[in-house]
A and B are shown apart, each in its own frame.
Chain A
Amino acid sequence: MIIWPPLRRAWHNPIFHGGLEAFAQQPTQRSYSVNYVATLATVLLITWPKEGFVNLRDLPFTYNAVGGVTMIILAYLSISQGATRILGARYLSLADWLRLAPVSVGAFLRGYLAANCLELLLFWGLAVPLLVLAAHVSGEPLVHLSAGLLLLLVCAGSYRIVGVTLLICFERDEFLLYICVCLLYMCFILGSGFVFPLCNPVLAFADTSLWPHRLSSLTLPGIILPGWVATVVFHMLLGGGSFIIALLRGYWVQRTRTQL
């Protein structure tokens, strides 16, 4: 009941409706989806354990391999697709939309992000059956699987918001936008693993599984968070922070409209 009013508001959001129409008609998403599932299926097939053997020396690899690859692809798709316009004509920028659309910046951003998240949900959902299969042969309980799926969703969602923020900030300079997307992606997926492992989503995914915990716990006053929970919290803060930046940039763009 608590989530019903925001959902109703989102449904009546014209930007969300516009995004939804654009998403439904765009052929690129379908092509991406098929390629994405084919890649994950290949990884699953390669890492599938030998028929019925139990290798006592190594923990099951299948779930972590499929989960890790899903995270790597999903992160790139989220951040890069977030930084790509999904609304309107080719020559109409997001800043133009912000200036021209008769809605507030908050409503615009919420609607735009909701439409973006629908796309994210599609990619996330397509991976679920394969992850469940992988978890099954790796002996992962449902709790671990749920934690892994939650982590995937939160991390990909926050990268999506980061991508949208980058788009709003650097829309006019496509090269700079491309560089920022690549740098941030490398930083989140690769760099953080060496510098600040608690921020690394791939390590956090392994941490939710049966494998020995790769991440140390985060000790805060009065509370000890498991490594993967700390990663989820970090990504939620990252998403929230990015949304605030996007909001501020939106207000600045709208203010320039009123000045014009």
Chain B
Amino acid sequence: MYWLIPWCALALALAWLPSQAYAQVTLEARLGLQGTLRLGKWNLITVQVHNAGGPLHGTLGVRTWLGSESRGDVHSTLFTRPLALPPGARKRLTFAVPITSIADPVDVSLWVGDQVLAQQRLDLREALHAEQIILGLTRDVSLDFLATAFPKTHTRIVYLPPADLPVHWSGYDSVSAVVVKGISLQALSDTQYTALQAWLANGGILIAAGDAQYTLLQEPRLRALLPVHVLGVQAQEGLPALAERYATPLPDSPMVLARARLTRGRVLIGTDEMPLLAHRPFGKGRVVFLAVDYAMPPLPGWSGQAALWKDILQIPEHVDFVREFAELGMLDESHPIMKLFGRPVLTFPSHLTLSAILLTYLSLLTLLFWRMSRRPQQCWRYWGGVAVLIIVCTAYALSPFLEHGLNQDALLFDVTTMELPADTGYAHVQGHVGLFAIRGGQFEIPLQQADTVLRHTFTRGAGKAGKEFEASVGEGFRLRRLGLEAWTLRVFSTESMIAAPVQVVAEGHTTGLTVQVENRSSVPLQGTLVAYQGRVFALGAIAPGEKFRDELYPVLQSTDSAQEMAWRVMLKRRPGTMDTRLAYLQEVLLQQYFGDKRLADTSDTPVLTGWLLAPTTLGTPPAATAMQGVTLVVSRPLL
């Protein structure tokens, strides 16, 4: 019977062991969109985890390397996401991560506490690379001809089922265009559809091609995006308009094409009542309608196909030098945060105030000593006075009101520009974040948007920055383990797409224009201005939830400031405040956005600017960190 006691004890001990000890996890990671990467962009990493053991609560991480050895700014970013897997569960997670070179691999790992349960190293040299990726949402592989249609640009075609589409707009960063044919966008989840819309608003291209199933083009989601209203299908002998446009004969064989009517945008080929190729801008992006099925004969063998698709895609062949230079660190010194640090952003006393303090201290001390020499019998009283003077002066010097900024562990600055692409319902948020560690340490920065993209980061200052940090993308976006030595500045450039907190509509009429601004945010939109035809109209502050409508008449407004720098005019008319630091933040943002352009050059179409006097990129930081943030809202409504 006694042998049962150790047996039971062993059983109990095993029962108390952490469940992770039993976890049997397999992990499989895949690179990019069907193995295709685009360097310099954010690419997808899809990770599939299967748990064959006990319940698991761990963290899944993807580590990438950025920066350059020659510049000395190489750093790794670990993107993490909490993972809970019940026994026998299988889960698929996607990460959008920046990949700029194939030199360093991408490490994927799953860990619980300090124990790594599974890991995989992805060699980027084995991946397929492209300068342009076209994503096909089609039932066939009929877009393959596009891979050779652009001889100067290495193009790859990727076909994905709707279920595999990214759920964040950043997942499309490597994609140049999406082609939809014969697939219903209604099959996309809400998050997938939002991601697609947000990507379009930020410069993506969506092409919807005609198909025998024309009803798919009439479905609500696609209808909301298309430049045309699809009415049905019609049969036709040949496409003379196409042949004429590209000066390439096309056989007159019978074809079926979608019959539609232009509702917005512009017809490129055909007429408004019968558009063959039409497009409309959607924010910074475009939505293209092609009435004909490009996969139906005789189009696949037609030699004008390449020219047609160049017209459809209109992908600029020039390099985005601003972005390239920024990522190479060539624009670091002109970064808004660096400009900000050239301004008096701290509030310690001036030389004059200091002189007054020192003079008072010295005068009182001299006075006490003089009295002491005059009345030696009462010298102990005066020595007491000296002690009191020292204590009072020390207490005054210790008081925090003498200097606000440097009493914190770190200073955080968030200067954000929020552009409102017209008629999209989205806002493109470009954040410039600076973390200045006064005393050094490990810091954590919360960001407001979960799908924020970190475009660029660099450090300046007397100290050094840690070579790795963590970007936790689970619940909200947090930058963790930001190690900075004392007196070091770390700068981040971020980008995100959010639902537009301010809605702007403008209508032109013979004598001017009508502007309607609706503030849907929880913060007042202050100092709202409309610049139009070199004139500036002040709309004032718009309270949260308020809808403001005004008639603007440019002929009645003076044009004195039309030749002045746009940023200077806007700065003069900013909301009045006593906070000089805020004025510096605003000045830096306006300079960054408008550059050296004159008011007359920037306001040929209406430009609305306003201020949200709150950070839009950063969330609430830890208590020991002082944060100041301001957001410039810019809208260019269509007339």
A interface list, Cβ under 8 A from B: 24-25, 27, 30, 33-34, 37-38, 41, 44-45, 48-54, 56-60, 122, 125-126, 128-130, 132-133, 136-141, 210, 212
* Closest CB in chain B relative to A146 CB, distance in Å: 12
Q: Is B148 an interface residue (CB 8 A)?
A: no
Interface pick from B32-40, B251-259, B394-402:
B394-402
- Cross-chain contact B406 with A44 (CB below 8 angstroms): no
Chain B 460-472 per-residue mask, 1 if CB under 8 angstroms from chain A, else 0: 1111000000000
> What are 18 pairs between A and B in contact, CB < 8 Å?
A24-B380, A24-B383, A34-B362, A41-B361, A41-B362, A45-B358, A51-B344, A54-B345, A56-B341, A56-B461, A130-B397, A132-B398, A133-B357, A137-B403, A139-B486, A139-B487, A140-B439, A210-B487
Which B residues touch A128, using CB under 8 A?
A: 390, 394
Complex CA distance for A49 and B344, rounded to whole angstroms: 11
Which A residues touch B365, using CB under 8 A?
A: 33-34, 37, 126
Q: Chain B: which residue is nearest A141 at the CB level?
A: B439
- Cross-chain contact A129 with B376 (CB below 8 angstroms): no
Which B residues touch A122, using CB under 8 A?
A: 386
Interface pick from B184-192, B346-354, B606-614:
B346-354
Main secondary structure of the interface of B (DSSP, over half): helix
Extra A-B contacts (9), CB below 8 Å, given A129-B393, A133-B402: A37-B361, A52-B343, A52-B346, A54-B346, A56-B460, A56-B461, A122-B386, A129-B394, A130-B397
- Cross-chain contact A52 with B348 (CB below 8 angstroms): yes
- Cross-chain contact A54 with B369 (CB below 8 angstroms): no
- Cross-chain contact B486 with A54 (CB below 8 angstroms): no
Complex CA distance for A137 and B438, rounded to whole angstroms: 11
Interface footprint category on B: 35 or more
- Cross-chain contact B348 with A25 (CB below 8 angstroms): no
- Cross-chain contact B462 with A58 (CB below 8 angstroms): yes
Q: Chain A: which residue is nearest B344 at the CB level?
A: A52
- Cross-chain contact B366 with A25 (CB below 8 angstroms): no
Given known pairs A38-B362, A51-B344, A54-B346, the reply for A136 and B354 (CB within 8 Å) is no
* Closest CB in chain B relative to A59 CB, distance in Å: 5
Complex CA distance for A174 and B440, rounded to whole angstroms: 51
* Closest CB in chain B relative to A1 CB, distance in Å: 24
Complex CA distance for A54 and B358, rounded to whole angstroms: 23
- Cross-chain contact B487 with A60 (CB below 8 angstroms): yes
Q: Chain A: which residue is nearest B379 at the CB level?
A: A24
Which A residues touch B387, using CB under 8 A?
A: 125
* Closest CB in chain A relative to B464 CB, distance in Å: 10
Which B residues touch A59, using CB under 8 A?
A: 462, 486-487
- Cross-chain contact A139 with B397 (CB below 8 angstroms): no
**Which of these, B345, B390, B396, B463, contacts A125 with CB under 8 Å?**
B390
Complex CA distance for A132 and B361, rounded to whole angstroms: 14
Which A residues touch B358, using CB under 8 A?
A: 41, 44-45, 130
Most chain A Cβ neighbours within 10 Å, of B369, B436, B440: B369
- Cross-chain contact B351 with A129 (CB below 8 angstroms): no
Complex CA distance for A52 and B438, rounded to whole angstroms: 14
- Cross-chain contact A53 with B346 (CB below 8 angstroms): yes
* Closest CB in chain B relative to A114 CB, distance in Å: 16
Which B residues touch A130, using CB under 8 A?
A: 358, 397
- Cross-chain contact A30 with B373 (CB below 8 angstroms): yes
Q: Is B355 an interface residue (CB 8 A)?
A: yes
- Cross-chain contact B397 with A129 (CB below 8 angstroms): yes
Q: Chain A: which residue is nearest B439 at the CB level?
A: A141
Q: Chain B: which residue is nearest A145 at the CB level?
A: B398
- Cross-chain contact A136 with B406 (CB below 8 angstroms): yes
Complex CA distance for A168 and B383, rounded to whole angstroms: 29
Q: Is B489 an interface residue (CB 8 A)?
A: yes
**Which of these, B344, B346, B350, B394, contacts A132 with CB under 8 Å?**
B394
- Cross-chain contact A37 with B362 (CB below 8 angstroms): yes
**Which of these, A27, A57, A136, contacts B402 with CB under 8 Å?**
A136
Chain B 519-561 per-residue mask, 1 if CB under 8 angstroms from chain A, else 0: 0000000000000000000000000000000000000000000
Which residues in chain B, 362-414, are within 8 Å of chain A measured between CB atoms? 362, 365-366, 369, 372-373, 376, 379-380, 383, 386-387, 390, 393-394, 396-398, 402-403, 406-407
* Closest CB in chain A relative to B377 CB, distance in Å: 10
Q: Chain B: which residue is nearest A125 at the CB level?
A: B390
* Closest CB in chain A relative to B293 CB, distance in Å: 60
Complex CA distance for A23 and B403, rounded to whole angstroms: 37
Which B residues touch A212, using CB under 8 A?
A: 463
Complex CA distance for A129 and B391, rounded to whole angstroms: 8
Chain B 267-305 per-residue mask, 1 if CB under 8 angstroms from chain A, else 0: 000000000000000000000000000000000000000
Complex CA distance for A38 and B547, rounded to whole angstroms: 63
Which A residues touch B346, using CB under 8 A?
A: 52-54
Which residues in chain B, 435-463, are within 8 Å of chain A measured between CB atoms? 436, 438-440, 460-463
Complex CA distance for A49 and B405, rounded to whole angstroms: 14
Q: Chain A: which residue is nearest B376 at the CB level?
A: A25
Complex CA distance for A33 and B368, rounded to whole angstroms: 12
* Closest CB in chain A relative to B466 CB, distance in Å: 16
Given known pairs A25-B376, A139-B439, the reply for A34 and B345 (CB within 8 Å) is no
**Which of these, B344, B354, B361, B406, contacts A53 with CB under 8 Å?**
B344
* Closest CB in chain A relative to B368 CB, distance in Å: 9
